[in-house]
Amino acid sequence: MEPDDRAARWRRLWGLLEPIHDQALQLARRLGRSSPDGDDAFQEAVLRSFEKLHTLRDETSFRSWFCTVLLSVHRSSSSRGFWRRFLPLTDEWEYGREPVGENGQRWEEERQRATRVSRALATLPAVQREAVVFFELEGFSIDEIAALQKVSPSAVKSRLARGRERLRRHYERLGFAAQRAEPPEPGTVGPPPALLEPVLPQTAPAGAVPRGARELPGRPPAKGWPS
């Protein structure tokens, strides 16, 4: 490929990527174990996109096309998950610009929560993790996820249900289920104050629906990305 062609292709890619840059980067971070992991995956997805840009026929579908590339990168890195357990653990969500005071406390509490749920998500198979992140955090519809994952909507529902159930089991193993029915005895040391109050507004429970199929409360409305 001639240098001019490459430059033109990069210009085209950057032009398509700019409107969805922030959302795509956040998606990469949420799929990954940490912010650096997500940033690395995003950069790799950009490089892969450059190599495969000639396969993009309709530029209006760039968003879903790039998500597919990102999912491919995510699955490649997930397949290396077994070996990653031999790497030293790092703090997954560490940031430098931390505010002080009350905001700093909330900042730190969110970081701890994000670390905890990232570790829980990391225990899911890649396809379940993708379904949960797209549905619960990105606000994608079942049909959109089905198109991205190239499976039927019912398969996506199944992945969602199984992913949620695994997340619940993970949290139960962390001790959450045991303590929800048995309040601490008077005089005993309770949980850290930061975890006592819900951080964000809660919604009503879903009722007596089987737990595996129940949606998590408070799912954001489907909003999608800028196309």
Please give the residues from 192 up to 211 whose contact with other proteins meets the rule CB under 8 A.
195-200, 202-208, 211
Tell whether residue 163 is a contact of other proteins (CB under 8 A): no
Question: Taking CB under 8 A as the rule, which mask of x and - marks residues 49-78 in contact with other proteins?
Answer: ------------------------------
User: Residue from 7, 8, 47, 222 that binds other proteins (CB under 8 A)?
Assistant: 47
Tell whether residue 100 is a contact of other proteins (CB under 8 A): no
Tell whether residue 184 is a contact of other proteins (CB under 8 A): yes
Q: Which stretch binds other proteins (CB under 8 A): 54-62, 65-73, 155-163, 182-190?
A: 182-190
For residue 124, the number of C-alpha atoms closer than 13 Å in the C-beta half-sphere is 29
Report how far residue 193's alpha carbon sits from residue 112's, in angstroms, rounded to the nearest whole number.
13
Q: Are the C-beta atoms of 49 and 6 separated by less than 8 Å?
A: no
Q: What would the two tokens of residue 54 be?
A: 């000639």
By C-alpha distance, which of 133, 113, 80, 138 is closest to 192?
113
Tell the smallest beta-carbon distance from residue 207 to other proteins (Å).
Answer: 7
Tell whether residue 127 is a contact of other proteins (CB under 8 A): no
Q: Other C-beta atoms within 10 Å of 23: how many?
A: 16
Going from the C-alpha of 107 to that of each of 114, 149, 192, the distances in angstroms are: 11, 34, 15
Q: Give the residue with the Cβ less far from other proteins, 57 or 175.
A: 175
Q: Give the residue with the Cβ less far from other proteins, 57 or 181.
A: 181
